[in-house]
A and B are shown apart, each in its own frame.
Chain A
Amino acid sequence: MNRESLLTQTGWLILALLLALALTVIVALPTGAPPFETIYVLFQGSLSSWSKVGRVLAGWVPLTLCSAGLLIPFTARLWNIGVEGQVIMGAIFCTAALRPFDDGGSAGVIALALAASAAGGAFWALLAGLLRVFGRVHEIFSGLGLNFVALGVTLWLIFGPWKRPGVASMSGTEPLDISLWLPRLANMSVSWVGLALAVAALALVYILLHRTKWGLKLRAVGENPKAATLFSLGPRRRLLQAFMFCGGLAGLAGAVQVLGVYHRLLPNISSGYGYTALLVSMMASFRLSLVPFICLFFAILNVGSIQLPLQLGLDSSLSGVIQGIMVLSLFIVQGLRLWLKQRKEAD
């Protein structure tokens, strides 16, 4: 595959994108949505002003944190589907750390909250990892189950011990003191702290996977677990560490949602970024260099789709539909290439 020219690879990619476009138009036909106007609204709603670009970047940060993290367990051939719950757990731990500081605090308190959220995400990932490594529960089920459990914990906290005085509602807990909000970048709704965290996460994952012995051994565990045991690479410990790294980054994404975006704990605090990040990492075929760009594109779609109900009366879940179809198209085109190659070899 690697020997193919850049031109052929780009050609296949364009084919996949065209297929995605065609499929999207086809599935959207029953709603009678005008295709070109819809696309125009999607991009106009996300890129037409600086404040909208700020919102796109605010969506890019958690998505990048989760997607970069997901590459670590996948290096060992593990799917951390529990990433969604780890974002939620990060948000819960972050809010918990800030509960004593309801009349404000300094930058040190924010740093404490970030650390707590990373620990929370890592803890939730460790649970999924332990179930996988010692309980032999497939990580898809343990992760998914824990996602729903994390959601249940959030709901319990919001309607129970952490409810706003007088009213307990889906609108979440009491807002944080303004001194605990992440500082904004100019007038945009994104914080430089979040951007710095996302870029640092990309660098960290690159170094970890490609420049350390730990990453090399993790890859060996994924390629051949039996051999890894024989060479005493400690596959169990390593798998748990991989899960926890990913969970820590996902937890930070939850903290960014609490500190930078909503300034409180909501039932929908994760905004589905965990699941979207899984799509991103599949779309990138688990190559780190592609992750930030795909995250950016997906964040543009997410922000643009908010305008759809207002302007065209369409549901905002169209962004998810487009993202899913894009990844599916990529798999179809990959499959077609494989099929053509096998036919050529058979002749």
Chain B
Amino acid sequence: MDTFALTIAAILMAGAPLVLATLGETLTEKAGIVNLSLDGSILLAAMAAFACSAIFDSPWLGMLAGAAVGAAIAGVLGVIGIYLGQSQLAVGFILTLLSRDLAYFLGHNFSRQPGPDLGLWTIPGMGDVPFVGLIFGARSPVVYMSLMAIVFCWWWMFRTEGGMRLRAVGESPRAAFGRGIRVRLVRLYYCLAGGALVGLAGGAYSLAVKPGWGRPQGCEGAGWIALAIVIFGGWHPVRTALGAFFFAALQVSGIHLQEIFPSIPAPVFQVAPFPMMILTLLAVNMGRMGWIQDIIRRHPFLKSLSKGWSIEAPAALGQDFNPKKGL
């Protein structure tokens, strides 16, 4: 029982940065903007967070720096994509490569240096509760942060007026514009907010999950996984978070698999999430095809299962909106 609790705790920890990044990207994509720069953003934010916390000896200042860097990159993408009308995918991809190289370039002097990390938080009294105490008693602050972020994002998206505006500009920008919402500005705001969350994910890597900075840091590729999880989770904050924990569970089980198959070299397990990413996307997209839909409709069990998992992208995802071009 204790091993089970500890495994869950390990999954929560490994999943924390993934959850933060996927929630950030979900917010951005719900507003109709694709931020493809996730992988580089996470890395540059991780570097900035570690450097900042090492210089000022304050990991929380580091987290702030990470969020600022993430928001800044998203801001560049937002301005070029929304106001200057360039391809979001192209600019996002350029920013990925650019931020990655920038992270290695600027982080050169911090490589393999000691620095503070976020440490653990203890919830008083929780440690004595059996089972739950092992999971939540004393964990890294990023774990609590990611769990609160899930609840907050869900509440914001589906229970507030701001969230309604967010969904409106992503689903039907013209209608939103007609209702007096400043579509481009709202999109830019959510681009910045989502970028800040992605930046926090970077900080979570270099200050908690894989503390330290180096080349490689260990979080390379996580951004691409997060992008795929957003599709897998159907742009719903709770479901994307579940997807993130699913991939974290795969990572954790990879460590155990390595013990079972010692003949397979360790680096191979690091790329294991990527075929999984392709297969998941394949499964998600195949599920939307006509002949598979027919099979699902014929089986009552599959039908009830698919009801809770309908996956539709925001209707105006990746599309420009120019109010001057008329309604």
- Tell me the A residues contacting B by CB distance below 8 Å: 27-28, 30-31, 79, 81, 131, 135-138, 140-142, 144-146, 148-149, 151-152, 155-156, 159-160, 168, 267, 275, 278-279, 282, 313-315, 317-321, 323-325, 327-328, 331-332, 334-336, 338-339, 342, 346
Contact = CB atoms under 8 A, between A and B. Distances in A.
A213 to B, nearest CB: 29
Which 8 pairs show the lowest CB-CB distances between chains A and B?
A335-B84, A324-B98, A320-B101, A152-B271, A159-B265, A315-B108, A148-B274, A136-B285
A327 to B, nearest CB: 5
Given A314-B105, A328-B95, A334-B86, 8 more contacts: A135-B282, A136-B288, A141-B228, A141-B277, A278-B93, A279-B97, A321-B98, A335-B83
Given A332-B80, A335-B85, A141 B267 contact: no
A324 B98 CA distance: 5
Given A314-B108, A317-B104, A331 B80 contact: yes
B247 to A, nearest CB: 13
B161 to A, nearest CB: 31
A16 to B, nearest CB: 13
A135 B282 CA distance: 6
Main secondary structure of the interface of B (DSSP, over half): helix
A151 to B, nearest CB: 6
B255 interface: no
Interface in B90-141: 90-91, 93-95, 97-98, 100-102, 104-109
By CB atoms of chain B within 10 A, which of A28, A136, A324, A335 has the most?
A: A324
Contact of A321 (B105, B227, B231, B271): B105
Contacts of B218: none
A331 B91 contact: yes
Nearest to B271: A152
A323 B80 CA distance: 18
A327 B80 CA distance: 13
B267 A155 contact: yes
A146 B94 contact: no
A156 B265 contact: yes
A149 B274 contact: yes
Given A324-B97, A328-B94, A331-B80, A148 B221 contact: yes
A168 B265 contact: yes
B104 A315 contact: yes
Contact of A335 (B80, B270, B281): B80
B277 to A, nearest CB: 5
B239 to A, nearest CB: 18
Contacts of A156: 264-265, 268
A328 B84 contact: no
A160 B85 CA distance: 49
17 contacts: A28-B105, A145-B224, A149-B274, A152-B270, A159-B268, A282-B90, A315-B108, A318-B101, A318-B105, A320-B100, A320-B101, A324-B94, A324-B101, A327-B94, A335-B80, A335-B86, A338-B84
Contacts of A324: 94-95, 97-98, 101-102
Given A140-B36, A328-B95, A159 B102 contact: no
A336 B265 CA distance: 50
A89 B91 CA distance: 27
B148 interface: no
Contact of B94 (A135, A144, A331, A334): A331
Contacts of B264: 156, 160
B278 interface: yes
A144 B94 CA distance: 14
Contact of A151 (B76, B231, B271): B271
A30 B110 CA distance: 12
Nearest to A138: B281
A137 B267 CA distance: 26
Contacts of A137: 278, 281-282, 285
Contacts of B84: 331-332, 334-336, 338-339
B293 to A, nearest CB: 13
B89 interface: yes
A338 B108 CA distance: 38
Nearest to B102: A321
Contacts of B91: 328, 331
A138 to B, nearest CB: 8
A145 B277 contact: yes
B324 interface: yes
Nearest to B101: A320
A27 B324 CA distance: 35
Nearest to B325: A342
A248 B274 CA distance: 23
Contact of A131 (B76, B107, B282): B282
A267 B265 CA distance: 13
Nearest to B221: A148
Nearest to A33: B105
Given A156-B264, A328-B95, A146 B271 contact: no
Nearest to A320: B101
B105 A317 contact: yes
B295 interface: no
A279 B90 CA distance: 9
A140 B271 CA distance: 17
B86 to A, nearest CB: 5
Contacts of A140: 36, 89, 93
Contact of B86 (A79, A142, A152, A331): A331
Contact of A31 (B108, B267, B282): B108
Contacts of B272: 152
Nearest to B111: A315
B260 interface: no
A280 B249 CA distance: 38
B278 A31 contact: no
B94 A30 contact: no
A339 B85 contact: yes
A167 to B, nearest CB: 13
A151 B289 CA distance: 31
